[in-house]
Amino acid sequence: MKNAIEKIAGELRKILGPDRVISDPDILGAYSADETPDCTGKAELIVRPESPKEVSSVMKACHEAGVKVVPRGAGTGVTGGAVPVEGGVVLSLERMNRILEIDLENMIAVVEPGVITGRLQEALRAEGLLYPPDPASLDSCSIGGNVAENAGGPRAVKYGTTKDYVIGLEFVTPEGEIMTAGGKIVKNASGYNLIGILAGSEGTLAVITKIWLRLLPLPLHSIDALMAFSSIEEAIDAVRSILVKRIVPAAIEFMEKDAIDLVARHGRGIPYPDAGAHLLVQLDGSSPDFLHDELEKLSKAAGIDPDSVLVAESDIQRERLWKARRSIREAIRAESPVFLAEDCVVPCALIPQYLRSVKTFLGEKKLRSIMFGHAGDGNVHMDVLKGDMDCGVWKGILPEIKKGIYRLAIGLGGTITGEHGIGHIRKDYLPLAMSDREIELLRRIKNAFDPRGILNPGKIF
Ligand SMILES: Cc1cc2nc3c(=O)[nH]c(=O)nc-3n(C[C@H](O)[C@H](O)[C@H](O)COP(=O)(O)OP(=O)(O)OC[C@H]3O[C@@H](n4cnc5c(N)ncnc54)[C@H](O)[C@@H]3O)c2cc1C
């Protein structure tokens, strides 16, 4: 007897044609994971629709048959969001990858979800426009995935995250209905904010098929600068002083000592390798003179001699400065291919306290950690290295390590993830961050969108 997937495969082939319904085991394997370590599922069928209508037909068929569907962008997620952990059909949005419109008059872009974020930014730059959210994965992740995860990046300190730019969404409900919320309007006070509910919903409520994005004028100039401090406390104090002086950098990233040491060991030519902490700052604005003035003010506020600040104004110099920050993961992998990656968030001023308490907690378990991240918004990336610990022991203590790291963030008024989401791998820990009542409300929202529970099961809850 045919199972539900075999039965529906024929119907989906009628809708999309045979080439866009895939059951080749090698390809199914590739779509059974994303970038999350140790998290694989079982894709039973892959579909590649090319229009909202096709997405709708796929959803209608799957809904009727009670078949689970997992939306997938570019598969760069790091919490297992696009992993078919309970099997089913993977609905890949990769073919819906057109920039539909760049509306110069209204400064709005209308895009399909499969557009690669970096490609959109490039196209907008050519028109003198800026779409600010800049996840480090921008050369490979999709804008639909960014909306579903409410992705952030270094520029969040000045410009906010993905949700701050989404002003309209077309989406397909699990039942297959095509709906639109918002559009080319920057303000909207009609009813509940459906866009706000869908942005960050991790593919569990609806399939996003079209996105309207608010844009900004492209700043004409930018300067990047690296500053060295003797300790992380000094660096974060400097961030506070900079922001209090109303200087708002586009980005302000930190690396603590263990991160600097690690990159110095594995990378080449990291500046100020003996420092206790680095701040990497980007300023943007309308003229080089303005930026030089701002940088001088910023150095003074940070208590740093302007002559000791490494300044990059050309793309090559910029790349050199950012290389150290970007090569952290590579260096971690070289020392410990297995590691735990967390992205808790705490109030900015409490970053040093948080880092210290996590280091102490991990030190008691003889574990090393590397910390870096977004100093201006309190989002701390911390990687805990397995090192030469026995795999069984490592796996056994992971839940306790995660809980410890999360509890320390929550204790400081923070939460368990700033930009990577709950996905599959953090779902067991959501009760640490939210009360039973809050989770119950989230479940009710899920039920309102997806009463049969067919869309991206095994995520968030
Ligand atoms: C090297 C690296 C660096 C990274 N840096 C950052 C960073 O700086 N900031 C950050 O926030 N993240 C970062 N990430 C994580 C990841 O890139 C982001 O979460 C990104 O938004 C995922 O986009 P994607 O297209 O790959 O989505 P996927 O991984 O394919 O999917 C992610 C989630 O979105 C859902 N989804 C995807 N498309 C749709 C759609 N059209 N409709 C409904 N649901 C959908 C999926 O079901 C899944 O739950 C990084 C990842 C890597 C590997």
Q: Which of 56, 137, 198 to mutate to test the pocket of ligand 1 (most atoms within 8 A of CB)?
A: 137
State pTM to two decimals. Answer: 0.96
Report which ligand 1 atom has the smallest distance to the Cα of 147: 21
d(CA 446, ligand 1 centre) in Å: 20
Phi, psi values for residue 73, rounded to 5°: -90, -105
pLDDT of residue 320: 85
Ligand 1 within 6 A of CB of 402? no
Query: Do residues 251 and 242 lie in contact, with contact meaning Cβ atoms separated by under 8 Å?
Result: no
Protein residue closest via CA to atom 19 of ligand 1: 77
Ligand 1 within 6 A of CB of 163? no
Ligand 1 within 6 A of CB of 378? no
Helix (H, G, I), strand (E, B), or coil: what is residue 190? coil
* Amino acid at the residue 16: L
Ligand 1 within 6 A of CB of 207? yes
Element (H, E) at 47: strand 45-47
pLDDT of residue 1: 54
Ligand 1 within 6 A of CB of 148? yes
Burial class (CB in 10 A: 0-12, 13-18, 19+), 314: exposed
Ligand 1 within 6 A of CB of 208? yes
Ligand 1 within 6 A of CB of 420? yes
d(CA 80, ligand 1 centre) in Å: 9
pLDDT of residue 2: 66
Ligand 1 within 6 A of CB of 74? yes
pLDDT tens string for the chain (461 positions)?
568 899 999 999 999 999 999 999 999 999 999 999 889 999 999 999 999 999 999 999 999 999 999 999 999 999 999 999 999 999 999 999 999 999 999 999 999 999 999 999 999 999 999 999 999 999 999 999 999 999 999 999 999 999 999 999 999 999 999 999 999 999 999 999 999 999 999 999 999 999 999 999 999 999 999 999 999 999 999 999 999 999 999 999 999 999 999 999 987 678 999 999 999 999 999 999 999 999 999 999 999 999 999 999 888 888 888 888 888 988 999 999 999 999 999 999 999 999 999 999 999 999 999 999 999 999 999 999 999 999 999 999 999 999 999 999 999 999 999 999 999 999 999 999 999 999 999 999 999 999 999 999 999 99
Q: Which of 47, 85, 141, 162 to mutate to test the pocket of ligand 1 (most atoms within 8 A of CB)?
A: 141
pLDDT of residue 119: 98
d(CA 326, ligand 1 centre) in Å: 18
- Name residue, tokens 């992380």: 232
C-alpha atoms less than 13 angstroms from C-alpha of 238 in its C-beta half-sphere: 28
Torsion of CA 208, 214, 218, 224, to 10 degrees: -60
Ligand 1 within 6 A of CB of 151? yes
Query: Do residues 115 and 97 lie in contact, with contact meaning Cβ atoms separated by under 8 Å?
Result: yes
